[in-house]
Amino acid sequence: MDEMILRLGLALAIGLLVGVERGWRERAEPAGSRTAGIRTYGISGLLGGLFAALAAALGAAYVFAAGFIGFAAVLAWFKAHEAAHDRDFSVTGVVAGLCVFALGGLAVTGDHRAAAAGGAALAGVLASRDLLHGLLRRITWIELRSAIVLVVMSAIVLPLLPNRTIDPWGGLNPREIWLFTVLTAAISFLGYIAVRILGPTRGLLVSGLAGALVSSTAVTIAFARIAKAGGDARPLAGAAALAAMISLLRVTAIVLIVQPLAFGIMGPAAIAAAAVFAAGGAILLMRGTHGSEASDTSRNPFELGTLLLFAALLAVVATASAALVARFGSASLVATSVLSGTFDVDVAVLSALRLQDLNVPLDTIGEAVLGALSANALGRLALAIFSGPPSYWLPLAATTMLAAAGGVAVFLSLPSF
């Protein structure tokens, strides 16, 4: 009996929580002018709990079903009259009332923790009306499509893929390949959404840091073109250096998520190089005129063709890495990572990290990740030399070399594993 009283109290509390949100929105209306307020929603939750308790006591589930249908009919009838009077076509109040009734029943005869969480989530969604409506007004179709693609990738495609290797060398696991693709896409999308929430990005600092969450190579090329067109090259080079810093930190975060043990080998060197890039970029930015502004270098990270190409490239590199390791030993992993890292650092890093399952030593994996990062930095620098003027790529080259020297110094100073 004591537990039943507590559960009925929870059912009442769920209704009161939702009723507070509903009543606050209509607090300026005169008393009795609305169908449901804080008391009505509170009683609705308690009523759902009582019907559930009666159904459990009588061993007849139809009692709760009949109560739910009757409650829905009465609430809908009153709401229909209110809507006709106010010329209001929103059905949110009716759906919220039905949810409160159902959550009250769940609190009494089901998982009371799930009921409490559902009540809090319901109140949160109702309270977020202005935020959600504002988001719908600001969001573009490409962004909405990208979010849907991410949900489909993670909730539908991922569970359907086999979680086993399908190649002779034990390197190609479809579910792992797709999981890494989803992970990389999610990180890029979060950066993209952060930029959209903050509004249009203007200025080298914001656009460089935000763009690097998607692609530091794209940022480097975009700034090189701006410098070649007459922009102030020195701050542009500084922003590109800061983008390189973000790229290093992003890869370090991926390592911490996917293979935390490898962080001890590559983490200190990568962080040291990122610190040099940060210092060099800040100095170059402060010494520039800040007269030029970068275009929006962030792009939609969820073009389906790009994602599929990334997954295919990751699968090829993962299979090739496993085959080379099986044929020549773990020493070949570093060379493979350097080669693939020149083109795509994420593919190289993720391919190296997953080889821990093949008993490749952690120090070899860490060295492979550092090799991929170094190769990618040199690849960015080569593209900067090809796309921009010397006044742009010379400061960037000096900063890159200093960052590499700092990373090597820290790596060599670490004890052997």
Q: Which of 32-46, 230-244, 304-318 has the highest mean pLDDT?
A: 230-244
pLDDT value for 220: 81
Q: Which of 223, 280, 273, 282 is nearest to 247 (CA)?
A: 273
**Burial profile 166-186: b = 16 or more Cβ within 10 angstroms, e = fewer:** eeebbbbbbebbbbbbbbbbe
Task: Tokens for 231, please give them.
Answer: 């922009």
Return the residue matching tokens 């052997």. 416
Q: Which amino acid is at 218?
A: A
Q: Which amino acid is at 301?
A: P
pLDDT exceeds 50 at position 65: yes
Q: Could you give the CA distance from residue 363 to residue 380 in angstroms, rounded to a whole number?
A: 26
Q: Which of 371, 380, 376 is nearest to 411 (CA)?
A: 371
| Residue with more model confidence, 343 or 263 | 263
| Residue with more model confidence, 258 or 122 | 122
pLDDT exceeds 80 at position 392: yes
pLDDT value for 192: 61
Mean pLDDT over the full length of the chain:
79
Phi, psi of 54, rounded to the nearest 5 degrees: -65, -40
Per-residue pLDDT band for 224 (boundaries 50, 70, 90) equals confident
Per-residue pLDDT band for 332 (boundaries 50, 70, 90) equals low
pLDDT value for 17: 92
For the chain, how big is the Rg over CA atoms in Å? 29
pLDDT exceeds 50 at position 296: no
**Cβ atoms of residues 172 and 318 within 8 Å:** yes
C-alpha distances (whole Å) from 339 to each of 143, 249, 335, 362 are 33, 21, 6, 20
pLDDT value for 114: 92
pLDDT exceeds 50 at position 329: yes
pLDDT exceeds 50 at position 116: yes
| Torsion of the alpha carbons at 204, 205, 211 and 217, rounded to the nearest 10 | 70
Per-residue pLDDT band for 148 (boundaries 50, 70, 90) equals confident
Task: Tokens for 328, please give them.
Answer: 């020549």
Cβ neighbors of 323 (< 8 A, separation 6 or more) are 167, 169, 171
Residue 294: Cβ within 10 Å count: 24
| Residue with more model confidence, 246 or 198 | 246
Q: Which of 236, 167, 163, 229 is nearest to 205 (CA)?
A: 236
Q: Could you give the CA distance from residue 47 to residue 49 in angstroms, rounded to a whole number?
A: 5
Per-residue pLDDT band for 229 (boundaries 50, 70, 90) equals confident
Task: Tokens for 348, please give them.
Answer: 């190289």
14-54 residue pLDDT tens? 999 998 887 777 665 665 556 567 888 999 999 999 999 99
Phi, psi of 77, rounded to the nearest 5 degrees: -65, -45
Q: Could you give the CA distance from residue 209 to residue 194 in angstroms, rounded to a whole number?
A: 11
pLDDT value for 367: 77
**Cβ atoms of residues 104 and 45 within 8 Å:** yes
Percent residues over pLDDT 70 in the chain: 73
Task: Tokens for 172, please give them.
Answer: 């190609």
**Cβ atoms of residues 109 and 52 within 8 Å:** yes
**Residue 212, class by beta-carbon neighbours within 10 Å (0-12 exposed, 13-18 middle, 19+ buried)?**
buried
**Cβ atoms of residues 14 and 104 within 8 Å:** yes
Task: Tokens for 404, please give them.
Answer: 């590499």
Name the DSSP class of 401: H
pLDDT value for 328: 65
Residue 209: Cβ within 10 Å count: 19
Task: Tokens for 134, please give them.
Answer: 């504002």
SS3 34: coil
